[in-house]
Copies of this chain bind each other. A is one copy, B any other.
Amino acid sequence: MRDFSGDTRLLALNTATVSKQWSLEQCIDGCVRHGIGGIAPWRDKLDACGAARAAGMIRDAGLRVTGLCRGGMFPAATAEAHQAALDDNRKAIDDAATIGAECLILVVGGLPEGSRDIADARQQVQDGIAAVLDHARASGVPLAIEPLHPMYAADRACVNTLKQANDMCDALGEGVGVAVDVYHLWWDPELEAEIARAGAAGRILGFHVCDWLVPTTDLLLDRGMMGDGVIDIPKIRGWVEAAGYGGCSEVEIFSQNNWWQRDADEVLATCIERHQTVV
């Protein structure tokens, strides 16, 4: 395993971590100030900054872009909604290309309004990715399927295990990979095997870290800082690196009542300290 004890360059800041405090411009400046090597913008902040302007700022700052969050949300109840989802994904691919993102993260979407058919939703996801894949390939933007925790199966992502994501990648071919987020996957008894499988296929496009708090008080907005919860992050990082992953650890924390309430420089300093000690 790589030694992170003195590292800041293999740490990436997902802008969600300081979502309530900073604009993208401030996030870029913050990364430079703290020596953090990578950034992963969410599209709301990217849109507020402008993709072309952001691209220049990120390049001047010497930052890697570990991913753009997010494309996806494919399952749709109507033809119009289906088309809008495809259009939005193509736009996201373009933005990812503009800022030189290493991948476009796909939060694939859950059940369409009124549906109880999760098998159909999963098929819609696969078909949706297939529909935009040529554009992604032509744009040089790998698509990263991010399996989300099963508690999001209904409303955010019906791909809930790495095995499912791997199966989907096998079906779709070149240009699609996976993002491994410890928060979503730590509980899965098949995780080690599926990480090895993903690595053997050369498709691990991202490694996201935060922690699972006990108790967790909100399904969405109560993620923990690395080290504050129960996930054995070094063990999972070991699996990911043994599978050939050599990229950044991207910190993505949604934390309504804790980290979003703190001074953003304090948040970044804490991310670095935890990156060096418990990731």
Docked-complex contact A187 and B230, CB < 8 angstroms: no
CB contacts (< 8 Å) of A160 on chain B: these are 187-189
Q: Which residue of B lies closest to A216 (CB)?
A: B219
Docked-complex contact A212 and B154, CB < 8 angstroms: yes
Docked-complex contact B122 and A232, CB < 8 angstroms: no
| A116 contacts partner chain B, Cβ-Cβ < 8 Å | yes
| A153 contacts partner chain B, Cβ-Cβ < 8 Å | yes
Docked-complex contact B187 and A117, CB < 8 angstroms: no
| A161 contacts partner chain B, Cβ-Cβ < 8 Å | yes
How many chain A residues touch B (Cβ–Cβ < 8 Å)? 31
Bound form: Cα–Cα A47–B211 in Å: 38
Docked-complex contact B189 and A161, CB < 8 angstroms: yes
Q: Which residues of A contact B (CB under 8 A)?
A: 111, 115-119, 122, 149-151, 153-155, 158, 160-161, 164, 186-189, 212, 214-217, 219, 229-232
From B111, B214, B217, contact of A230 by CB (8 A): B111
Docked-complex contact B151 and A151, CB < 8 angstroms: yes
CB contacts (< 8 Å) of A164 on chain B: these are 189
Docked-complex contact A154 and B188, CB < 8 angstroms: no
Bound form: Cα–Cα A219–B214 in Å: 11
Bound form: Cα–Cα A155–B212 in Å: 11
From B150, B155, B187, contact of A215 by CB (8 A): B155
Docked-complex contact A216 and B151, CB < 8 angstroms: yes
Q: Which residue of B lies closest to A116 (CB)?
A: B232
> Lowest 5 A-B CB distances belong to which pairs?
A153-B187, A116-B232, A150-B187, A151-B151, A154-B230
Docked-complex contact B155 and A231, CB < 8 angstroms: no
